[in-house]
Structure 1
Amino acid sequence: MDKSKTKIYKSYDSNILEALFVKYGVSKYYIRQSISGSVQGITPDSIKKDYATMEKASKDIVMLLIQKTMG
């Protein structure tokens, strides 16, 4: 029995990645590694925190727009 598993990759919001790229001036690869926890340090922690904040704000705005268009 073949137990091949397909690796599932997490995709990140490209707009947020671009904003973090402009803010921190580091590569998008480094930003993705920071978010996933592959690299350690103060800057990666800040990047991860900023990404979470921006992602939540983005989702909140989308939900607000959905509610406005529904009613």
Structure 2
Amino acid sequence: MSKSKTKIYKSYDSNILEALFLKYGVSKYYIRQSINGTVKGLTPDIIKKDYSKMVKENETTVQNFINKTLE
């Protein structure tokens, strides 16, 4: 008998997906597939790099806001 496991889905920041959608003009599905690594090519690699940059900047901005609030 096998154990049933539920699949864990990755969630992506919807604001960043929207920004990439506006920047590249491709579907959000294509952007998610590019970030996931399902789609291969030059554009998906650039999208993946842009997404990771935007996530880091977003986290930094939120952390700075938290630090200023706690002062």
- Settle same-fold status: TM greater than 0.5: yes
CA deviation after TM superposition for structure 1 residue 62, in Å: 0.3
**1:20 corresponds to:** 20
One-letter amino acid of the structure 2 residue matched with residue 13 of structure 1: D
| Structure-to-structure mapping, 1:41-56, within 5 angstroms | 41-56=41-56
**C-alpha distance in 2 between matches for 1:3 and 1:48:** 34
| Secondary structure of the structure 2 residue equivalent to 1:59 | helix
Give the unaligned 5+ runs of structure 1: none
TM-score when scaled to structure 2? 0.97
**2:39 corresponds to:** 39
TM-score when scaled to structure 1? 0.97
CA deviation after TM superposition for structure 1 residue 2, in Å: 4.5
| Number of positions where the alignment pairs a residue of Structure 1 with one of Structure 2 | 71
Partner deviation per Cα, 1:23-55 (whole Å, 9 max, x = no partner): 000000000000000000000000000000000
- Aligned-pair identity in percent equals 70
| Secondary structure of the structure 1 residue equivalent to 2:6 | coil
Give the unaligned 5+ runs of structure 2: none
**C-alpha distance in 2 between matches for 1:39 and 1:9:** 18
Structure 1 stretches of 4+ with a deviation exceeding 4 A read none
